[in-house]
Structure 1
Amino acid sequence: MKKTNLIVSAFIFALFIYILYKFDVFSQLGLMLKTADYSLVFLSFLVYLSVYFFRALRLRLYIEEVSIAEMFSVIGVHTFFNNILPFRSGETSFPIILKKLFSIEITKSSMVLLGARIFDLVSLSILFLFSLFFVSFSDRRLIFFPIIAVLIMGFLLVLSYKILHFFKGKVPFFEKILLVSAIFVKIDKLVMMFLFSILIWSLKFTAFMLILKAAHLNIGFFKTIFVSTFAELTTVLPIHSFGGFGTFEAGMVGGFSLIGIDPKEALPYAVYFHSLVLLISGVMAISGWIYLSFKVRKG
């Protein structure tokens, strides 16, 4: 991380801590943790565990050389880096780990991951559209969000296609990307990728709903999708604080406010939610790292 980015991240984090102190969020968090339903927290962990399992199955559609357990572990480490590093820079950990541990060509693993991310975007857009339709019953203005999202997604896909073909034959690297991407042109695997992606996001939002319900905030499945999508979008910001603290909460509080929850009331829930998700992610990363280290020593 560059020195300037580090300073900005530290400033955002310090400002965030001050805001938490200013609005007495720490005492509210303490009360929330005392009264939380930990059986629901555990259930959310199990559901989140299944998200990693189906992510592993999805990626193994194209990377069969890696076992389910190994891919599961790689995803645990990779997801944690994605959660703590800005602008999705943690994505680079996936091809690097596969190259170092399993000798998978970086171009291939990068293209498979890119394909998965495209399906993630499509699946998230579909689920967000359904959630928005549900939420818009109380506020018709929100119906413009999915229209804008679909237009942006379509524009980015067309732009990406144009860029790749513009550089085709001019830059060898782009030529290689186009050749490797041909492995995706298999209808059966594309359908499976899409179905896995819908299932993954449905399970992920179910875990999110359970996390909030454990803190006695039962807003339902579709409102959970709506609120947490705003938080998810902050992970692509070029600059945020350590672990995304501050920017993630801002996105989530914004989502809460759109469904009528006061920002001051929403902030403790956002901090609790983000902290628990990072904790689960950290547990999965440590478990994955230990398993992969054992496999390397054994190999």
Structure 2
Amino acid sequence: MRKSNVAISLIILMIFGYVLYRYNVFSQLSGMLEKLSYRDIAFSLFVYVFVYVFRALRLRLYIDEISLPEMASVIGVHTFFNNVMPFRSGETSFPIILKKLFGIEMSRSSVILFGARVFDLLSLSLLFLISLFSVSFSDKRLIFFPIAAVFLIGATLFFVYRFLHFFREKIPFFDELIVASAVLFRADKLFMMFVFSICIWVLKFVAFMFILNAAHLNLGFLKTIFVSTFAELTTVLPVHSFGGFGTFEAGMVGGFSLIGISAKQALPYAVYFHTLILCMSGITAFAGWIYLSIKRK
């Protein structure tokens, strides 16, 4: 990692620490922890584990020589690195682990991981669009967002069509390349990849909903999607701190503000939410690392 990236991450962390001190977030968190529903937290962790199971099922569509428990364990370790390391540098852990433990070529695993990320984006966009319409119906001030989202999706599809049409005219063997790709990425596998991706995000948002319920913030499923999607999108920002602290909370506070919760009120919930997600990913990563260590011996 470049020194400039580390410096930026440290600056973000220091600014975030000052904001927490300035708004007395730590004392609010202390009061929040005393009233937590640990039953809801336990259920959210239970659901969160199944997120890894479905991620493993999705990747095993193309890497079936690795068992389901081993793949889920690899994903657990990989996800933790991805959550902790800035600038999405944790993505490199997946092909590295598969290469060292199972001999899978890094080029192959990297392409498959990239495909999974594309389906993640499609699934997240679809669920977020549904939540946008739901939220805008309850607050007419937000009607602009689903309209803008539909326009953006339409514009994106149009530019993708024009992009492919441009290459079809420039590359003589373009049609043959499409046919070859269809053989490699069969329609049935692509369909199952999309189904698994939808299941992953639905389960993830269910876990998120129970995390907020545990802190007695009962938003409901669709509003949870709406709020937490803003936080999820910060993970792809070029400016990202260690653990995502600061940027993740900023995105979530922005989502809260759009549904009428002030930044001062939302910030402790965002910090609690983010910290618990990191703890849960740490637990699953540790369990996965133990399992892989035993299996590889």
Number of residue pairs aligned between Structure 1 and Structure 2 = 290
Aligned to 2:66: 66
CA distance in 1, matches of 2:48, 2:126: 20
TM (norm. structure 1) is: 0.89
Q: Given the alignment, which residue of 147, 158, 167 partners 2:150? A: 147
Question: Displaced runs of 4+ in structure 1, greater than 3 A?
Answer: 151-169, 177-184
Cα distance change, pair 26–43 in 1 and its aligned pair in 2 (3 A):
same
Give CA deviations for 1:66-105 in whole Å, capped at 9, x if unaligned.
0001001000011111112233222111111111111112
Please, what is the CA RMSD of the aligned residues? Answer: 2.5
Unaligned runs of 5+ in 1: 170-176
Change (3 A) 1:247 1:78: same
1:46 aligns with 2:46: yes
**Rounded Cα–Cα distance in structure 2 between residues aligned with 1:88 and 1:156:** 26
* Counterpart residue identity of residue 143, structure 1: P
> TM (normalized to structure 2)?
0.90
Partner residue of 1:202? Answer: 202
Question: Which amino acid in structure 2 is aligned with residue 249 of structure 1?
Answer: E
Equivalent residue for 2:96? 96
Which residue is equivalent to 1:227?
227
The equivalent of 1:271 in structure 2 is 271
C-alpha separation in 1, matches of 2:56 and 2:269: 30
Alpha-carbon separation, structure 2, partners of 1:227 and 1:99: 37
Aligned to 1:27: 27
**Residues 131-210 of structure 1: pairs in structure 2 closer than 5 A:** 131-137=131-137, 138-139=139-140, 140-147=143-150, 149-151=152-154, 153-154=156-157, 184-210=184-210
Q: Within 2, Cα distance between the matches of 1:178 and 1:243?
A: 40
SS, match of residue 136 in structure 1 = helix
Counterpart CA distance in 1 for 2:292 and 2:59 is 17
Q: Is the 8 A contact 2:9 2:86 kept in 1?
A: no
2:55 aligned with 1:55: yes
Percent identity, aligned pairs only, is: 61
In the alignment, the residues of structure 1 paired with residue 166 and residue 92 of structure 2 have an alpha-carbon distance, to the nearest angstrom, of: 21
Distance 1:167 1:270 in 2: 49
Moved more, 90-99 or 142-151: 142-151
Distance 1:165 1:69 in 2: 42
Tell me the equivalent position of 2:117: 117
Once the two structures are TM-superposed, the CA of residue 162 in structure 1 deviates from its matched residue by 8.5
Question: Counterpart of 2:244?
Answer: 244
Deviation, 1:181, is: 5.6
> Matched residues in 2 for 1:102 and 1:163: separation?
40
Tell me the equivalent position of 1:3: 3
1:208 and 1:224 in contact (8 A); partners too: yes
Q: In the alignment, does 2:297 pair up with 1:292?
A: no
